[in-house]
Amino acid sequence: PLDDVPEWKGVSMDEIRKGLGVYDCQELPPICASSSHIVLISLPLPARGTPKPYPTYQVEKWCQDYVRMPHSKHNLYLVNENGSRHNRNRWEIIQESLLQNFVSTHQLESAILSYNHIYAQRWDFTALHHFFSEVLDEEETNTFFETLMPKMVQLALQLPVLVTGSVPLLKRHTNGTISLSQLQIASLLANAFFCTFPRRNSTDPQSEYGRYPYINFNRLFSAYKEGKWKCESVMEKMKCIFHYFRRVTSKAPEGVVTIQRRYIPKSDCPKWDEQVQTLLPLHITSRGTIEAEGTGFLQVDFANKYVGGGVLGLGCVQEEIRFVICPELMVTMLVTEELDDTEALIVSGVERYSKYKGYSNSFKWIGDYVDETPKDSSGRRLTSIVAIDALYFKNSQMQFNINNIIRELNKAYVGFVGCEGSKSNLPAIATGNWGCGAFRGNPKLKVLLQLMAAAVAGRSMVYFTFGDTNLRDDIAEMHKHFVKHETNIAHIFSLLLQYQEFASAENSDFYRFLYNRSKMKPITQHLSKNIHTKLSVVKE
């Protein structure tokens, strides 16, 4: 009987797409190398086959602005041989250790520790051993060691020929872009699997990479917890990752990926109390997911400020799931310094490799996924993801504080605004309960902040409530209300301040409060002054 009731509200998908095709809008302009856009492949792309590395000869920069590559001649390793201590090239040791016929994960563990010996007592491989002893059967284990493992070793050891240029780091408070091939990413990730990246293992926040995500996979190999659930999702994540390596080693992927760090100084972010735009169209649905039904839109990654979050640990919510079904996203962890308040990361061109079902504890890998997304003129799949990290709220009242509201507005705005050279014809945003799961935000507030940021960035929105029909209806009503009353962003912003001031502590219904107040005159002189004094305090 419910069949003729649409499960969505707001405007239709067609209206969101303004009558254009699914792939007619594009997030990033075509790849064009510059001082702020490092391109590690040779352009134009070959008509077929994998992109060629750029430059044609190997250059190396062993310094703080570039990834310290495992094959660098500067990557030295202190060894004790024949009673004398001396430095050896670490890449040689890595090659010797990995070029053997592995038959067990214990052997793999020893190999990895042979070039990471100072961690021999600290690293733990329980989850990896558990995967092979308890999750895979004997035949699967044998196939792994006979077929996949040697190919993964080859992929890792080809790094010097595959990645000839230096990989820049995307540092705090900079705008920078990197384009590289999917095959280059595969080789970098194979190295991460074998834990070959130097200087990335310290847990000291003061160390050189203390403000970067973890990249070597020993983290994942140790992500074992007694108790059924935690460990099971780690096992399923491993299935996704091995599946990815199976795919890229059986047929080399031919596409290109662009990673862009975006920074807008806080002083250049919108003045939220002055924005005169009204909310833009919204399509809201309780069914579907960002990655599946958000095709062609800018898809939000509910990120951690260390991108990837707990993907190499026990985490298994939106960001971690996205990273394991599209493992190329993990290469962002190699290059992206911790995101600050007004920074975001855009990734275009990644491929999805795995099907899954469930979420968190019930997450399951269910097989191969063939990604049919077409590519743009630069060889990138037309899939774009924006990583924006929400604030974590231990105390739920805190999110109504003006500083926190402005922080979340700015964060979403930086993610949504589009880069120089492609501010028109941008796709809509595909998002959902950003910051409202692990980070404990209030979805009714967060959706409004996202809508306000999207409006100022000039973009419509597709919103997935992840099964919650009440939330869908409440949000649709709120959106309709503000559109009908032509309430502008500055006015909505002032209502949020009033809620903080008068009502949030009493826990009165947030949307009801907004409706009642928005019927009153926009902003009284007195209140407006009050807000300005408050804002100036905040700005200082």
437 binds ligand AR6 (CB under 6 A): yes
Interatomic CA distance for residues 258 and 442, integer angstroms: 32
Task: Tell me, yes or no, if 319 is annotated catalytic.
Answer: yes
SS3 call for 81:
strand
Asked whether the beta carbons of 425 and 25 are under 8 A apart, the reply is: yes
- List Cβ neighbours of 87 (8 Å cut-off, separation of 6 or more): 76, 77, 78, 79
Report how many helices (DSSP H) and strands (DSSP E) the chain contains, helices first. Answer: 19, 14
> Which of the stretches 141-149, 203-211, 232-240, 313-321 binds ligand AR6 when contact is defined by CB under 6 A?
313-321
Which residue among the candidates 27, 319, 389, 474 is catalytic per the annotation? 319
Site for ligand AR6 in 63-102 (CB under 6 A): none
- Report the chain's terminal Cα–Cα distance, integer Å: 58
Residues forming beta bridges with residue 384, ordered by sequence position:
298, 348
**Any contact of residue 438 with ligand AR6 (CB under 6 A)?**
yes
Chain positions 236 to 295 lying near ligand AR6, rule: CB under 6 A, are 289-291
From 435, 445, 453, 514, residue interacting with ligand AR6 (rule: CB under 6 A): 435
* Dihedral angle over CA of 27, 30, 35, 36, nearest 10: 10
Strand partners, 76: 89
Sign of CA dihedral 304, 305, 307, 308: negative
**Which is catalytic among the residues 27, 236, 291, 320?**
320
Taking CB under 6 A as the rule, does residue 345 contact ligand AR6?
A: no
Catalytic residue among 301, 337, 389, 408: 301
Minimum CB separation of residue 221 from ligand AR6 in Å reads: 19
523 in helix, strand or coil? coil
Residue 7 has which token pair? 């499960």
Nearer to ligand AR6, 270 or 315 (CB): 315
Residue 13's contacts (CB-CB under 8 Å, 6 or more residues apart) are 283, 462
301 in active site? yes
Only one of the segments 119-127, 148-156, 301-309, 400-408 lies at the binding site for ligand AR6 (rule: CB under 6 A); that segment is 301-309
Is position 309 an interface residue for ligand AR6 (rule: CB under 6 A)? Answer: yes
How are beta strands 282-285 and 461-464 bridged, if at all?
Answer: parallel
Interaction of residue 432 with ligand AR6, rule CB under 6 A: yes
We find the least distance from the C-beta atom of residue 362 to ligand AR6, in angstroms, to be 12
State the CB neighbour count (10 A cutoff) for residue 278: 15
320 is catalytic: yes
What's the min distance (Å) between Cβ of 205 and ligand AR6? Answer: 17
What would the x/- binding string for ligand AR6 be over residues 386 to 405, using CB under 6 A?
----x---------------
Q: Which is nearer to ligand AR6, 116 or 384 (CB)?
A: 384
Least distance to ligand AR6, CB of residue 411, Å: 11
Q: Shortest approach of ligand AR6 to residue 241 CB, angstroms?
A: 17
- Using CB under 6 A as the binding rule, whether residue 415 contacts ligand AR6 is answered as no
Beta strand extents in 165-306 (DSSP E only): 176-181, 256-263, 282-285, 298-303
Q: Catalogue the active-site residues.
A: 301, 319-320
Kindly list the residues in this chain that would bind ligand AR6 in the complex (CB under 6 A): 289-291, 302-304, 309-310, 315, 317-320, 390, 432-439, 464, 466
